[in-house]
């Protein structure tokens, strides 16, 4: 995650027996890696975390927002985990919003800064299109993507190589 104040915490408390979770944190972000050692497919509550109203959790390997139930300043994160598989859950401040308008995407960036860029990615995180995040509202044309490109799944906000936020691609209006 990059930075001098990183925390690596193995085996944080999990809500599921034989689902093991490690936490990697830096500054305002936290990455939770959950491993299913139950011997069978698991679906249910995995983790209870602190979650401010301005924060959200994204399932990086599934390319979509995590299944989260808020309980005040806490949240319960649910996950679907095939046997011996992992989930990669990222807690980040909400700096990004996206709204689909036909064949374009309106991306809102909270307090954009010099050097920030927005990226449209597929479900595997592969870059499909990018542009500088110069204003609080940017528009991306989905029609301009190459015909053979993968289906867009999420929008990411970067400061250089550092991921600041990620949101799922909204459904068509």
Q: Do domains 7-93 and 96-168 have the same CATH topology?
A: yes
User: Model-level pTM?
Assistant: 0.86
Tokens 């809102």 belong to 108
CATH of domain 96-168: 2.60.40
Domains of the chain, by residue range, sit at 7-93, 96-168
Give the model confidence (pLDDT) of 80-126 as tens digits: 999 999 999 999 999 999 998 888 889 999 988 999 999 998 888 88
Quick one: fold of 7-93? Immunoglobulin-like (2.60.40)
Do 100 and 72 meet the contact criterion of CB atoms below 8 Å apart? no
Per DSSP bridges, beta strands 96-101 and 86-93 are unpaired
Rg (CA), the chain: 17
Per DSSP bridges, beta strands 67-71 and 74-81 are antiparallel
Give the model confidence (pLDDT) of 6-16 as tens digits: 789 999 999 99
CA 119, 122, 128: angle at the middle one, nearest 5?
Answer: 50
Q: Tell me which of 142 and 56 has the higher pLDDT.
A: 56
Cross-strand partners of 70: 75
């Amino acid at each position: 995650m990059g930075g001098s104040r990183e925390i690596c915490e193995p085996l944080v408390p999990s809500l599921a027996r034989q689902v093991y979770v490690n936490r990697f944190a830096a500054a305002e972000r936290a990455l939770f890696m959950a491993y299913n050692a139950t011997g069978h497919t698991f679906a249910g509550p995995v983790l209870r975390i602190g979650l401010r109203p301005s924060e959200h959790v994204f399932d990086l390997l599934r390319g979509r927002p995590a299944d989260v139930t808020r309980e005040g300043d806490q949240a319960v994160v649910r996950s679907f985990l095939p046997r011996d598989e992992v989930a990669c859950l990222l807690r980040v401040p909400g700096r990004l919003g996206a709204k689909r308008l036909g064949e374009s995407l309106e991306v809102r960036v909270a307090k954009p800064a010099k050097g920030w860029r927005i990226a449209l990615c597929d479900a595997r995180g592969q870059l499909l299109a990018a542009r500088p995040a110069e204003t609080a509202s940017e528009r991306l044309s989905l029609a301009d993507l190459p015909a053979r490109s993968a289906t867009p799944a999420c929008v990411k906000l970067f400061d250089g190589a550092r991921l600041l936020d990620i949101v799922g691609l909204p459904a068509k209006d």
